[in-house]
Amino acid sequence: MSLRHGKEFLMIPGPTNVPEEVLRAMHRPAVDIYEGPLLDTTAYCLERLKHVFRTQGKTYIYAANGHGAWDAALCNTLKRGDKILVLESGRFALGWGEAAEVAGLQAEILPGSWDRSVEPARLEERLRQDIKNEISAILVVQVDTASGVWNDIAALRKAIDAAGHPALFMVDTIASLGCMPFEMDAWGVDVALTGSQKGLMCPPGLSFVAASPKADKAHESANLRTNYTDWTFRQGPEHYQKYCGTPPEHLLYAFQKAMELLFAEGLEKAWHRHALLAEATRRAVGAWSEGGVVDFNISEPHARSNSVTVVRLESDHASDLRQFTKEVCGVTIGGTIGEISGKGIRIAHMGHVNAVMLLGTLSAIELGLEKLSIPHGKGGVQAAIDYLSEAL
């Protein structure tokens, strides 16, 4: 028997639930790209990106996904053969490093693990060894959607400073921007990038890059530039140059509306909302974990992200549970990927998510645990409710 027929949710770590207002904003005719209101939309979006990245630097909009933004960040600032240091803590920094190799860079991995955040001390240590400053850039993700880890960007910056290293500091905020505090300028990040489809509540298809003055300087001598991603061209006076060609109008309408929604709520308020919903989720998982089968993927409590909670579970259980919540309850939760593929679930609480959606999702999971006889401590939802009652 299915109880699925109602509004279905997508509680996976991207793409996320797109607000109705955002979808509605896309449902309109194409407009002229040389004059008229689209130019205001562009100006608004570029400006809002500064606020959301917390930077005075330049911002860029790409018709591309996050992987396209990876390329844009690297190709605009580096030279062929440059060495970069990739800070491992799950899947996505490694992926970015692989992209760098394709582009003609040398990627060195600072080894990490899937269940922990990057240790600032190890970064500092490695940089101190780099006496010749051969490392041109340091790549890290703020949140890894595969492992669920949160890396402490401010602390990593301090480690770089402690080592006195001049490398560009590049941060992928795809799974965190809009969900958790990020302070590009205050934290000394040189290049930050993100995508439209997670905390920013839009359909996928846009990605964004922000560059500090130091990155601008590096750009001048970069020799990996491609026409489509080139910052210099995109700083040109014509509107179409901002996009190197035809602007992706409908996705821009969507993004404009999403920014209006985000700043109507307030960016700090959105961070706070994510913090509360994430902790409620962790309370539920904590209760369930008492059954001995369910557990957090990230072993360090402080390093569990506020945008996604990755939960370890035996393989069949994970698959059965995800099928149950989707087909019986109406909510899709994420499966695990990469080296923990099939060994857990990912509960996303990022973007356009409120208390009723989150508590409904946790309830569906607890119902599934019970119905499917997966060993678990009871009272997960109760623990989430109790926590919120105190924290609100």
Angle between helices 267-288 and 380-391 (to 10 degrees): 150
Extract the tokens encoding 130: 């780099």
Contact 306, 275 (CB under 8 A): yes
Closest distance to a copy of itself from the beta carbon of 326 (Å): 9
Closer by beta carbon to a copy of itself, 134 or else 265:
265
Task: Compute the distance between CA of residue 166 and CA of residue 187 in angstroms, rounded to an integer.
Answer: 15
> Looking at beta carbons only, is 26 or 162 nearer to a copy of itself?
26
- At residue 108, the 3 state secondary structure works out as strand
Please tell me whether residue 35 adopts helix, strand or coil conformation: coil
Q: Say which residues have a Cβ less than 8 Å from residue 171's Cβ, sequence separation at least 6.
A: 140, 141, 142, 153, 182, 184, 189, 191, 192, 193
- Least distance in Å: CB of 116 to a copy of itself? 25
Contact of 49 with 372, CB cutoff 8 Å: no
**Smallest distance, Å, CB 159 to a copy of itself?**
27
| Residue nearer to a copy of itself on the CB measure, 88 or 172 | 172
Shortest distance, CB of residue 160 to a copy of itself, whole angstroms?
Answer: 25
The residue (of 293 and 328) whose beta carbon lies closer to a copy of itself is 328
Q: How far is the CB of 269 from a copy of itself (least distance, A)?
A: 7
Least Å distance, CB 371 to a copy of itself, is: 5
Q: Which is nearer to a copy of itself, 43 or 391 (CB)?
A: 391
User: What angle do the packed helices 355-371 and 267-288 form, to 10 degrees?
Assistant: 10
Comparing CB distances to a copy of itself, the nearer of 52 and 156 is 52
CB of 86 to a copy of itself, least distance (A): 14
Q: Which is closer to a copy of itself, CB of 119 or CB of 230?
A: 230
CA distance 321 to 327: 10
C-alpha distances out from residue 76 to 45, 49, 287, Å: 21, 19, 47
Task: Report in angstroms how near the CB of residue 359 gets to a copy of itself at its nearest.
Answer: 3
Tell me how far apart the alpha carbons of residues 21 and 155 are, in angstroms, rounded to a whole number.
37
Residues 6+ apart with CB under 8 A from 25: 253, 254, 256, 257
Taking the least distance from each CB to a copy of itself, the nearer of 3 and 43 is 3
Q: Residue 84 belongs to what H/E stretch?
A: strand 83-87
